Structure 1
């Protein structure tokens, strides 16, 4: 064999080598029950990095893609196993011409019953739907909810859709330039709201949570889970949904105020799998609870976790955490 072919073989072998996967963090089980979901030696893979603040992950099965927001950059990114990272939508949360503030992009993302993209838009202070196909994204939006009783929202943060099409969403101040002290603020509280799928009417469900953030429904759609990202009251709340859609029987799933003093992050975004297990970003990473509220363990991270998304029939968990997007392959 001559040197020409030897060089070709060496080049080919070098190209075939797979770069080592970057990982961070660890799995910390609270008992043996977590083994049914995640192996304690599971890797927390870094699949993308370099963002200002990654948020709102959404797995889109029909397109085999992960969408997520970089809130300060006012952009939605796309990640696929085949092509990796791509810019998907810009602007994503603020369509105004005058720059203002640092957290104006989209935050929470979800799909409606027709498979259309819904965005919680900090800068435009509304819940909106992208008026373009998923395969051909464009910054053209239809407002789904922009005001309550004639007053503009603070900055819708996260949302969940009930099977009948009703939307539940939170409205903390994080997209406001000066937050509570912003002169543009119109609502004197941080609310949790429902948008009726037929009439579009916006109903205030509660104004008693100081910093409502992540929001999710249990699989039976009878209970709403709301994260409070207040360092002085870092709590996950549970509310039953009454037949008239009011919130009743308030209670605490977990109070992690003390934990927040010693680990990065606060109660933020969360997701619930089909068995009712809760994956919630909080101090130190992702906290995992079973359907009865018992803690199963943590996905420990060295940076603040923002949100997560379940994919592939609950066998993959994607996590947005500070400047990272992470993946954990589960059982």
Structure 2
């Protein structure tokens, strides 16, 4: 496994950051089974996990050497995985043929703000219905769309009621074109310098561009996902005192339709010594929730029952479905990119 610390790699590189880099950061030539090193362990708690993962399924280490990998999203058109390194202000791409290369720099801080924030880069990524990349930009404190030129951005939402967002973190869209996103303060210095809003909100951007507050009482809203029928919005809480996956009911138009509830409580896992609050999440086509959290990633059935975990042994930020058939799960785990084959796919994956 080739691992190149990114700062050292840049020191010897003259590549223009807005262009794709011609090198691979963590490339292994073959994608045949066994070509990548095994990584972590699969913990089976309930037999229901067999519907999601084959009994022999193993995690594979695809690349390492990042500062803090985040925001994976599969690009069906390019047959590549995009993901971010938040502290380095970079978005990467990974392909089985070429490994990892720089895809976009800067990704989250373009100089829009007068002072650079604590964490500059983009965090969550997604594609809109037109195939355009949409980013939660910590540094510019907005949700933005990458323009056709490949290096400039258009703001989709930068303020709520005249006040600048904290640092948009993760996002998901529904079939009507609504974009839901979380806005914790992690991108701000000391999580407070420059903070204009009194809350850490969950918001909806309508196709018209209007921004509405969905939820404002979660102390650290983070990952976000929708049930297959789009009537439940799931939120990962990364507050150590409230390590929950929360569920918020929605109506047919994407408006809130009731009180939030705890879908899954990760407190028992933390008491076992597993580190990490809930972060990124995806909901598969059958309504099972795949949420990064204590110990790595938990797999929950549609009723919130824990079926098993992917134990990575490190902070695990986010998750995405992808691959040629849509049934690969990719994890961004601290400094590493990890993959496991599954028996399902994501409702929003495009297959």
Q: Same fold (TM over 0.5)?
A: yes
Contact 2:297 2:311 (C-alpha < 8 Å) held by counterparts:
yes
1:11 alignment partner in structure 2: none
- For residues 131 and 100 of structure 1, the distance between their equivalents in structure 2, rounded to whole angstroms, comes to 22
- For residues 139 and 180 of structure 2, the distance between their equivalents in structure 1, rounded to whole angstroms, comes to 19
Q: Is residue 21 of structure 1 aligned with residue 36 of structure 2?
A: yes
Contact 1:93 1:104 (C-alpha < 8 Å) held by counterparts:
yes
Shift of 1:247: 4.3
Q: Tell which structure's C-alpha radius of gyration is larger.
A: 1
2:167 alignment partner in structure 1: 155
3-state SS of 1:55 partner: strand
Runs of 4+ off more than 4 Å? none
Q: How many residues align?
A: 309
Unaligned runs of 5+ in 1: 1-14
Contact 1:28 1:40 (C-alpha < 8 Å) held by counterparts:
no
Shift of 1:24: 1.6
Q: Is residue 207 of structure 1 aligned with residue 216 of structure 2?
A: yes
3-state SS of 2:317 partner: strand
3-state SS of 1:63 partner: coil
- For residues 100 and 282 of structure 1, the distance between their equivalents in structure 2, rounded to whole angstroms, comes to 29
Q: Which of these residues, 289, 294, 305, is aligned with residue 305 of structure 2?
A: 294
2:276 alignment partner in structure 1: 265
Shift of 1:35: 1.3
3-state SS of 1:33 partner: helix
- For residues 155 and 172 of structure 1, the distance between their equivalents in structure 2, rounded to whole angstroms, comes to 6
Deviations 1:300-322 (A, max 9, x none): 11001101001244421000010
1:168 alignment partner in structure 2: 180
Q: Is residue 33 of structure 1 aligned with residue 48 of structure 2?
A: yes
Q: Is residue 305 of structure 1 aligned with residue 316 of structure 2?
A: yes
Q: Is residue 235 of structure 1 aligned with residue 244 of structure 2?
A: yes
Contact 1:242 1:248 (C-alpha < 8 Å) held by counterparts:
no
Q: Is residue 105 of structure 1 aligned with residue 121 of structure 2?
A: yes
Deviations 1:123-164 (A, max 9, x none): 10000000026xxx32x0000000000000000000000101
3-state SS of 1:21 partner: coil
Q: Is residue 115 of structure 1 aligned with residue 131 of structure 2?
A: yes
- For residues 118 and 274 of structure 2, the distance between their equivalents in structure 1, rounded to whole angstroms, comes to 24
Shift of 1:258: 4.3
- For residues 259 and 296 of structure 1, the distance between their equivalents in structure 2, rounded to whole angstroms, comes to 13
3-state SS of 1:35 partner: helix
Shift of 1:99: 6.2
Q: Which of these residues, 322, 326, 329, is aligned with residue 338 of structure 2?
A: 326
Shift of 1:257: 3.0
Q: Which of these residues, 199, 204, 212, is aligned with residue 189 of structure 1?
A: 199
2:256 alignment partner in structure 1: 246
3-state SS of 1:156 partner: coil
- For residues 73 and 304 of structure 1, the distance between their equivalents in structure 2, rounded to whole angstroms, comes to 17
- RMSD over equivalenced CA pairs, Å: 1.8
- For residues 257 and 143 of structure 1, the distance between their equivalents in structure 2, rounded to whole angstroms, comes to 38
Contact 1:273 1:314 (C-alpha < 8 Å) held by counterparts:
no
Shift of 1:40: 3.4
Unaligned runs of 5+ in 2: 1-28, 344-351
1:47 alignment partner in structure 2: 62
Q: Is residue 126 of structure 1 aligned with residue 147 of structure 2?
A: no
- For residues 41 and 317 of structure 1, the distance between their equivalents in structure 2, rounded to whole angstroms, comes to 15
2:295 alignment partner in structure 1: 284
Contact 1:27 1:41 (C-alpha < 8 Å) held by counterparts:
no
Deviations 1:15-38 (A, max 9, x none): 99x995222211111121111221
1:86 alignment partner in structure 2: 101
- For residues 34 and 162 of structure 1, the distance between their equivalents in structure 2, rounded to whole angstroms, comes to 27
